[in-house]
Amino acid sequence: MNTYGGIMVKTSRKNTWLRLIMVSALLLSMFVTIPKAANAEDELNLRVKGAILIDADSGKILYQKNADKSLGIASMSKMMTEYILLDAINEGKITWDQKYKVSDYAYKISQNRALSNVPLRADGEYTIRELYEAMAIYSANGATIGIAETIAGSETEFVNMMNKKAKKMGLKNYTFVNSTGLNNAQLDGMEPAGTGKTAENKMPAKSVAKLAYHLLKDHPDVLKTSSITKKTFREGTDDAIKMSNWNFMLPGLVFEYEGVDGLKTGTTDFAGYCFTGTATRNGTRLIAVVLDAVDANGEGTYKSRFDATRALFDYGFNQFTTEEIVPANYTFKGQKSIPVIDGKEDKVNIATKEAISIMVKTSDRDLYKPKLVLDKKELDAPVKKGAVVGHVEIEKTEGKDYGFIDGEVNNAEVVTTATVEKSGWISRAFKGIGNFFSDLWNKIF
């Protein structure tokens, strides 16, 4: 016999063991907390101050961590210099064969081998193509200044162009103080006018990704140069110098990753180890940005930025697919048509003009649903087939969706699927009379 709450209860050995198990389970539940389902940021466990991963085709954001905080970007700034240069080439403002005569500023910076540089001769002349390759492959800072001076006359004016282009692109929280990404303290007192003595370029990971997104969209040929692993500057001359790409994820290099062909590394004491990488597999291209990456010991290294980028690429390529969310000619239940005023038909059917496909996490495929947004609730006859009456928005019913790097994308119009002619005046008159008596009847009865 045992006593529970003052009541005598007859027990068996079996019952005693059951009670012990139940009590143990109760006590365990008091001290053990079941972990919540891990989100992407917890899953990847990136040791970075900021990061983002996007689909390079649509701009769909697949992952982000502290992506809106403005941080140092170092030589990734050169992507903006590349963009402005390639714009100028396309517009015919300068040419690849155009010669640059070295300024004192570019010469002095290019002689500093503690920085990434190809030494330029004080009395030398170099083609824009030579300078561009030195910048894109070897991150040469003197060469970058030469490009800025060629385009704008001075680096000061070029910085103004960088900031204007950033604003036009819709970048947020950016600061450009020079063309290279160096700290102004490294420019030997020759920093652009109006910038701080120790100022440095800054942007959030999201803005860096947006810059890379537009660079690849508008100037895809940049990959022909960013994918070059090794090249000799001024080969066959006394000034020949071997240039090795700082992007060690390229094929054949120490941290190679399948499909990587760009884009730009960056390192300063302020910014830490940064990288904007892009890779393609099976027709899908991703863009990854990592800012101030460190290893397990909290130390920034070349490897730490590539390890973080590898984790992002693995996540994107392994867990995401492009899925058709809405097929072409899709009709919405409860809204298959809209009214037509004064038409031979009282209504006209509507449907999506094109299919909508977006990159989504495979496990979340069924969480994305189409939402109809009508611009017009009715149409006046005559109505042409294919007239736009609204669009489709895709909503995620559960969990977080990061949206697109360029804002919301509604890439499927809703259109009429048939033509409705305007009815004749006699028909309209009889219909008007019928409507009058119908309304009168309803008011009376």
> b/e per residue, 388-398, with b = 16+ CB within 10 A?
ebbbbebeeee
Residue 43: per-residue pLDDT: 74
- pLDDT per residue as tens digits for the range 125-155: 999 999 999 999 999 999 999 999 999 999 9
Q: Which helix (H) or strand (E) holds 444?
A: helix 425-444
| Active-site option among 49, 65, 75, 210 | 75
Average pLDDT, integer, range 293-313: 97
| Active-site option among 77, 116, 139, 227 | 139
Q: Is the pLDDT of residue 75 over 50?
A: yes
Residue 412: per-residue pLDDT: 85
Q: Is the pLDDT of residue 58 over 80?
A: yes
Among 363, 310, 367, smallest CA distance to 38 is for 363
Query: What predicted TM-score, i.e. pTM, was given to this entire model?
Result: 0.85
Distance from chain centroid for Cα 93: 29
Please count the CA atoms within 13 angstroms of the CA of 156 that sit on its side-chain side.
8
DSSP 8-state code for residue 3: E
**Residue predicted with more confidence, 183 or 333:** 183
What does each C-alpha distance from 270 to 103, 424, 428 come to in angstroms?
A: 28, 76, 75
Per the DSSP assignment, residues forming a β-bridge with 275 are 265, 290
Residue 40: per-residue pLDDT: 53
Per-residue confidence band for 35, with pLDDT thresholds at 50, 70 and 90:
very low
Pairing of strands 337-341, 379-380: parallel
Among 73, 268, 265, 78, smallest CA distance to 158 is for 78
Average pLDDT, integer, range 85-92: 98
CB atoms under 10 Å from CB of 212, counted, come to: 27
80 burial (CB, 10 Å; 0-12 / 13-18 / 19+) is buried
Residue 407: per-residue pLDDT: 79
- pLDDT per residue as tens digits for the range 234-272: 999 999 999 999 999 999 999 999 999 999 999 999 999
Average pLDDT, the chain: 89
Instruction: Examine the residue annotation and report whether 75 is marked as an active-site residue of this protein.
Output: yes
- pLDDT per residue as tens digits for the range 156-173: 999 999 999 999 999 999
In contact, 53 and 287? CB cutoff 8 Å: yes
Tell me the three state secondary structure of residue 88: helix
Q: Is the pLDDT of residue 7 over 90?
A: no
**Residue predicted with more confidence, 63 or 32:** 63
Residue 42: per-residue pLDDT: 64
List, in order, residues 6 or more apart from 243 with CB less than 8 Å away: 118, 133, 134, 137, 138, 140, 230, 231, 232, 233
411 burial (CB, 10 Å; 0-12 / 13-18 / 19+) is middle
**Residue predicted with more confidence, 16 or 357:** 357
Residue 403: per-residue pLDDT: 92
| Active-site option among 60, 78, 210, 353 | 78
- Cα separation, 102 vs 125, whole angstroms: 6
Among 390, 380, 387, smallest CA distance to 345 is for 380
Angle subtended at Cα 322 by Cα 318 and Cα 325, rounded to the nearest 5 degrees: 135
Q: Is the pLDDT of residue 97 over 60?
A: yes
Q: With DSSP H G I counted as helix, E B as strand and the rest as coil, what are the percentages for the chain, rounded to 5?
A: 35, 25, 40
- Cα separation, 66 vs 205, whole angstroms: 8
- pLDDT per residue as tens digits for the range 205-226: 999 999 999 999 999 999 999 9
Tell me the three state secondary structure of residue 65: strand
- Cα separation, 78 vs 63, whole angstroms: 24
Per-residue confidence band for 409, with pLDDT thresholds at 50, 70 and 90:
low
Instruction: Examine the residue annotation and report whether 139 is marked as an active-site residue of this protein.
Output: yes
- Cα separation, 149 vs 153, whole angstroms: 5
Name the least confident of 107-111, 178-182, 397-401: 397-401
Name the least confident of 27-31, 198-202, 241-245, 429-433: 27-31
In contact, 144 and 135? CB cutoff 8 Å: yes
Instruction: Examine the residue annotation and report whether 304 is marked as an active-site residue of this protein.
Output: no
